[in-house]
Copies of this chain bind each other. A is one copy, B any other.
Amino acid sequence: MKESLVNSSKHNVFVNLKNISVSDNFWKPFMERIRTVVIPYQWEALNDRIPNADPSYCMRNFKVAAQMTHKHIDYGVPKDIGHGGMVFQDSDLAKWIESAAYSLVWHPDPSLEKIIDEAIDIVCNAQQDDGYLNTYYIIKGLEKRFTNLRDNHELYCFGHFLEAAAAYYEATGKRKLFDALVRYTDCIDRHIGPEEGKLHGYPGHEIAEMALVRLYEIIKDEKHIKMAKYFIDQRGQKPLYFEEETQKNENGFYWKDSHFQYQYYQAGKPVREQHSAEGHAVRAVYLYSGMADIARLTGDADLLKSCNDLWDNIVNRQMYITGAIGQAEYGESFSYDYDLPNDTIYGETCASIGLAFFARRMASIAPKGNYGDVLEKTLFNGIISGMSLDGKSFFYVNPLEAFPEASLKDRRMRHVKIPRQKWFACACCPPNLARIITSLASYIHSIGKYTLYTHLYISSETKCNLDGTDISLKIETQYPWEEQIDIIFSINERMRFKYAFRIPAWCKKYNISLNGDEASYKLVDGFAVIDREWLAGDKISIFFEMPVSFIRSNPHVRENIGKVAVMRGPVVYCAEEEDNGNELFRLHTGEPESVSIKHEKNLLEGVTTISFTGKREKEWSEDVLYQIEEAATEDRKITLVPYYTWANRKIGEMMVWMNK
């Protein structure tokens, strides 16, 4: 009998989307905006029906591929029109199907489902007899497939489609796309793997690792763990597959003059020797997510050590206060410890989303408050900053300081586009936003042994099963604007279990009551844990005090010396030109006086603003650059808005870290 790869005694499983109904006043409007604005808009984009935008070619590519595969099929696309758009264009449809599938879970919509089914028909018509399914190579020539795993995103598109197929199957029970992807998985397994005669390769852009684990979680065939594990284990091993592939196929190597070399792809060394985040940030956190999945399933201690180290490195050395990651535009990459420039940052929306994936998977291994803290930080700040409040435009790059003149005239900030853009040639961020927001409910709770964990505070009703007993719980809150959170249980029978809810790291004072009395709890790894026999109607009321906090950076961070950022609860604030005039860098918080908060229902879809009296440096009377002079300041009312809402009014400057 074959030994199982799986050692799953410690699993801590997140409660499925299907079992949670979100009613949150903060998040539900985001979800609805994705459902009603972004998903329909993206469908138009995928079909090249957006006026004045570059075509996506995505659906056209599938139609062309289908016509080439089945001579009788005619979608009315010219036969010789070829492949359009990026090499990874297929993934756009995959992400769209995935997010649309999640939306169907909480908002059934037969007409949307019909559109998806028709798209799936086209996709499946493009599939080859052997299961292969990538329009770039179907159109450009199948003899070239698997010749540039490093750069041509073949396994990336595969991974995204696997995620889409799993999501749609889970949402609807429909198997057509799912079965097609199982066949495609088998096709890849026949071509890539450790056995002689197969290519000893792995994805250039990771995601297939976690997608394969997801497939395993559904059909429980360990060969899918084996594939994911091979992609992870083989990565960075000598002789380096990417080097061999480059030489064999004369692919050229874009990063040959770079400092990161193959670490751009996290492939410069075996993953178990990787302890600090390097290279392309999105690839990195997708890989780390897959590593965490495999470490969880297999109990591989070395792999887990790398995951822990990589997590710590990101969170304690390379993460912005907004949860943005990827400091450098060059290679859209991590740079080095404590290097956190606010203006030339890349901070791709997708990278923060990938960090949320990683956080969720780390929490599945060992629930610690830190994972939920980072998840919450990215969600309330660096992720949703990626989308305008009307859902119609998007940031790829999420700076912590923006100067419109610099974006125009300073090449170092050319990637910092102000305002948000309608769409991108490489349209990865909008659909990625859509998939995380539509599946947000699945980040709230997890179930471990005898324990129910709450990671995020989102008004919702959840039904779950803990060791055989059905439990319902309801969260009611006006988080992040108000301090109270009520959690109400309904359980059919008395049951003893631990309820563990995260005490946010930002919160220094809180009060927890149970059924009106002071609650008794233990603090374990960032969670308050109440261990008792629960009854229907049990109600926990939590007050997380949310003072306006003036936060410092670790003094190793060169860019933030002498500066403070303002937070309230999980929300990072920023100064915008609209409220504070230009040259925001002349503002100083000083010892802020008369700090006040105000909830403004009609501002920016409803936000709590912060005001206080600070200082502003006065102009010099002499028109010179340098002189002996004490800085002269005058009092100035400073008004801050939540960071995620910036650039939703007039184009102007923005600044998170203000001079003290």
Q: Which residues of A contact B (CB under 8 A)?
A: 258-259, 315-317, 319, 321, 328-331, 335-336, 339, 341, 344, 403, 405-406, 408-412, 508, 549-558, 561-562, 565, 583, 585-586, 588, 617-620, 623-631, 659-660
Interface centre among A321, A552, A553, A627 (most CB of B within 10 A): A552
Q: Which of chain B's residues has its CB closest to A565's CB? A: B626
Contact of A624 among B316, B620, B628 (CB under 8 A): B316
Give 10 A-B contacts (CB < 8 Å), ordered by A residue. A316-B623, A316-B625, A319-B625, A336-B406, A336-B409, A344-B412, A550-B628, A551-B626, A558-B585, A565-B626
Residues on the B chain within 8 Å of A330, using CB: 411-412
Interface contact A625-B321, CB-CB below 8 Å:
yes
Bound CA–CA A659/B558 (angstroms):
11
Bound CA–CA A135/B344 (angstroms):
43
Distance (Å) between the CB of A542 and the closest chain B CB? 20
Contact of A552 among B409, B557, B629, B659 (CB under 8 A): B629
Bound CA–CA A508/B624 (angstroms):
16
Interface contact A552-B411, CB-CB below 8 Å:
no
Known pairs A259-B409, A317-B625; A561 contacts B586 (CB<8 A) = yes
Interface contact B410-A321, CB-CB below 8 Å:
no
**6 closest Cβ contacts across the A-B interface?**
A330-B411, A555-B617, A558-B585, A552-B629, A336-B409, A554-B625
Q: Which of chain B's residues has its CB closest to A619's CB? A: B555
Residues on the B chain within 8 Å of A588, using CB: 562
Interface contact A552-B631, CB-CB below 8 Å:
yes
Bound CA–CA A342/B315 (angstroms):
28
Residues on the B chain within 8 Å of A405, using CB: 336
Q: Which of chain B's residues has its CB closest to A554's CB? A: B625
Residues on the B chain within 8 Å of A631, using CB: 552, 555, 562, 660
Beyond contacts A259-B408, A555-B586: 10 other A-B pairs, Cβ-Cβ < 8 A, are A316-B624, A321-B626, A330-B411, A331-B411, A344-B412, A508-B628, A552-B626, A554-B625, A554-B626, A558-B583
Interface contact B562-A659, CB-CB below 8 Å:
yes
Interface centre among A409, A619, A620 (most CB of B within 10 A): A409
Residues on the B chain within 8 Å of A555, using CB: 583, 586, 617-620, 631
Interface contact B554-A328, CB-CB below 8 Å:
no
Bound CA–CA A660/B588 (angstroms):
14
Distance (Å) between the CB of A306 and the closest chain B CB? 19
Interface contact B556-A624, CB-CB below 8 Å:
no
Distance (Å) between the CB of A281 and the closest chain B CB? 14
Interface contact A410-B623, CB-CB below 8 Å:
no
Residues on the B chain within 8 Å of A411, using CB: 258-259, 328-331
Residues on the B chain within 8 Å of A617, using CB: 555, 561
Q: Which of chain B's residues has its CB closest to A622's CB? A: B554
Residues on the B chain within 8 Å of A553, using CB: 625-626
Interface contact A549-B410, CB-CB below 8 Å:
no
Bound CA–CA A630/B549 (angstroms):
12
Residues on the B chain within 8 Å of A336, using CB: 405-406, 409-410
Residues on the B chain within 8 Å of A550, using CB: 628
Interface contact A561-B585, CB-CB below 8 Å:
yes
Bound CA–CA A557/B554 (angstroms):
25
Contact of A339 among B410, B558, B565 (CB under 8 A): B410
Residues on the B chain within 8 Å of A586, using CB: 555, 561
Interface contact B562-A624, CB-CB below 8 Å:
no
Q: Which of chain B's residues has its CB closest to A403's CB? A: B558
Distance (Å) between the CB of A591 and the closest chain B CB? 11
Bound CA–CA A406/B259 (angstroms):
11
Residues on the B chain within 8 Å of A259, using CB: 408-409, 411
Distance (Å) between the CB of A570 and the closest chain B CB? 12
Q: Which of chain B's residues has its CB closest to A344's CB? A: B412
Bound CA–CA A376/B562 (angstroms):
33
Interface contact A410-B335, CB-CB below 8 Å:
yes
Distance (Å) between the CB of A65 and the closest chain B CB? 33
Bound CA–CA A129/B585 (angstroms):
62
Residues on the B chain within 8 Å of A660, using CB: 631
Residues on the B chain within 8 Å of A554, using CB: 620, 624-626
Q: Which of chain B's residues has its CB closest to A630's CB? A: B552
Bound CA–CA A532/B554 (angstroms):
64
Distance (Å) between the CB of A396 and the closest chain B CB? 18
Q: Which of chain B's residues has its CB closest to A585's CB? A: B558
Bound CA–CA A557/B625 (angstroms):
8
Residues on the B chain within 8 Å of A406, using CB: 336, 339
Contact of A551 among B258, B556, B628 (CB under 8 A): B628
Bound CA–CA A626/B317 (angstroms):
10
Bound CA–CA A624/B553 (angstroms):
9
Interface contact A328-B410, CB-CB below 8 Å:
yes
Distance (Å) between the CB of A150 and the closest chain B CB? 21
Residues on the B chain within 8 Å of A556, using CB: 583, 619
Q: Which of chain B's residues has its CB closest to A333's CB? A: B411
Distance (Å) between the CB of A592 and the closest chain B CB? 13
Q: Which of chain B's residues has its CB closest to A319's CB? A: B625
